[in-house]
């Protein structure tokens, strides 16, 4: 199977358990690995035979910037579910990075990664 990657998408969202996170918000980064058969698109050179990258981006943007979740785990799961529901992907790998969670210590970021498959939707 083939893959389409989205690397380092950046959005501003208001996700977190604590009030300041919901009030002030922060930057979130999203990476995707999207599995589907691209053989026809590779042959025809026609957008109709693949997915529109701008539509995938807009789907993720709407979730990260438009909805609010306490947990990054829920945000990550929601992105995966929506991508599988809206596009013909066989599998999606979604990684959401929260660079500034309220942890007292030195670290670069915290990230959640989930893999979901189309057949899991019907289980």
65 contacts 26 by C-beta, under 8 angstroms: no
The domain total for the chain is 1
* pLDDT value at residue 121: 63
* pLDDT value at residue 81: 97
CATH number at residue 51: 3.30.1130.10
Each residue of 37-88: pLDDT tens digit? 999 999 999 999 999 999 999 999 999 999 899 999 999 999 999 999 999 9
16 contacts 70 by C-beta, under 8 angstroms: yes
- What is the rounded CA–CA span in Å between residue 6 and residue 92? 11
Q: What is the mean pLDDT of residues 13-19?
A: 91
Question: What residues does 89 pair with on adjacent strands?
Answer: none
CB atoms under 10 Å from CB of 14, counted, come to 16
Task: Write down the mean pLDDT value for the chain.
Answer: 94
The whole domain housing 86 covers 2-121
Q: Which residues are catalytic?
A: 98
């Amino acid at each position: 199977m083939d893959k389409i990657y989205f690397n380092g998408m950046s959005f501003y969202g208001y996700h977190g358990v604590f009030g300041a996170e919901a009030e002030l918000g922060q930057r979130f980064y999203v990476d995707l690995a999207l599995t589907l058969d691209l053989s026809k698109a590779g042959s025809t050179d026609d957008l109709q035979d693949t997915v529109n990258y701008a539509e995938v981006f807009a789907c993720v943007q709407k979730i990260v910037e438009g909805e609010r979740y306490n947990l990054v785990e829920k945000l990550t799961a929601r992105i995966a579910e929506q991508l599988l529901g809206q596009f013909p992907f066989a599998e999606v790998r979604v990684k959401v990075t929260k660079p500034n969670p309220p942890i007292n210590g030195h670290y670069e970021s915290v990230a959640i990664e989930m893999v979901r498959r189309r057949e899991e939707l019907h289980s």
